[in-house]
Structure 1
Amino acid sequence: MKAHVDQDTCIGCGLCPSIAPDVFEMKDDGKAHVISDTIPKDSEDSAKEAEGSCPVNAISIL
C-alpha cells in the first residue's frame, strides 16, 4: 500500500501524524507529508484511519 497527501488540499491540522506517526509527518511548510513510499504492514490500519479522519480528504491510501 502507498499513501499520498494532496499538498494543495492539506490544511496542516496534524491529525494524520497523530493517528499514523509511522506513515505521516508534519514538515516546516506546515503540511503533512508521507514518510516513506510504502506503508509498513503493521501501519496499514492506522493509515486507513488517518485517511478517513482527514477533515479535507487530502489523504489517499492506494
Structure 2
Amino acid sequence: MEMRIDHHTCIGSGQCTLTAPAVFTQDDDGYAMLVPEGARTANPRQVTQAALSCPVQAITVGNAPPGA
C-alpha cells in the first residue's frame, strides 16, 4: 500500500492520526506525517478511512507496485 501526504495542502487537523494512529502521526508543527514502517502493518480499510476523513484531502492512497 502506498500512501502520500501533500504537505502543501495539509492543515494539521489530525483526523488521520485519530483514525489510523499506527500509520499517521503529526510533526512538531502539527502537520501529518507517516509513521516509519507504518505502511507495513497498515490496515487498508483504516488507511482509506483516514484519507477520507482528511478535510482538505491531503492524503492519497494507492497500491504499491509489486516488489516495492
5+ long unaligned stretches in structure 1: none
| In structure 1, C-alpha distance between the alignment counterparts of 2:22 and 2:61, rounded to whole Å | 14
Paired residue for 1:40?
A: 40
Give me the TM-score of the superposition, normalised by structure 1: 0.86
| In structure 2, C-alpha distance between the alignment counterparts of 1:42 and 1:8, rounded to whole Å | 24
| In structure 1, C-alpha distance between the alignment counterparts of 2:18 and 2:38, rounded to whole Å | 19
How do 1:1-62 and structure 2 match up within 5 A?
A: 1-36=1-36, 39-62=39-62
* CA-to-aligned-CA distance 1:15-46 (integer Å, 9 cap, x gap): 00100001100110220001136623552111
Tell me the SS of whatever aligns to 2:17: helix
Contact kept? 2:23, 2:42, Cα under 8 Å? no
Counting aligned pairs with the same residue, the percent is: 37
Write out the 4+ residue segments of structure 1 that deviate beyond 3 Å after TM superposition. none
Larger CA deviation: 27-36 vs 5-14? 27-36
Tell me the SS of whatever aligns to 1:16: helix
Give me the TM-score of the superposition, normalised by structure 2: 0.80
Q: How many pairs does the alignment contain?
A: 62
